[in-house]
Amino acid sequence: MATNRKRRARHIREGYSDAKVEFLLTGNEDRDDESEWWEIFAWEKEARRVAWEDLREGLLADWIEEHPGTRPWAWWKYDAPKAKAPGVPDWHLSEMVEPRLRVGGSGAPSWEKYPAILPYFTRGIPDSWEGFDKADPPLIESEASYLKRLGLFLPGEEKRLPADAFEPERVEC
With beta carbons less than 8 A apart as the criterion, state whether 67 and 91 touch. Answer: no
pLDDT at 67: 96
pLDDT tens-place string over residues 59-114: 999 999 999 999 999 999 999 999 887 777 878 887 789 999 999 999 999 988 99
Domain boundaries, the chain: 13-79, 82-173
Q: In degrees rounded to 5, what are phi and psi of residue 26?
A: -110, -25
Overall pTM surpassing 0.95 (yes/no): no
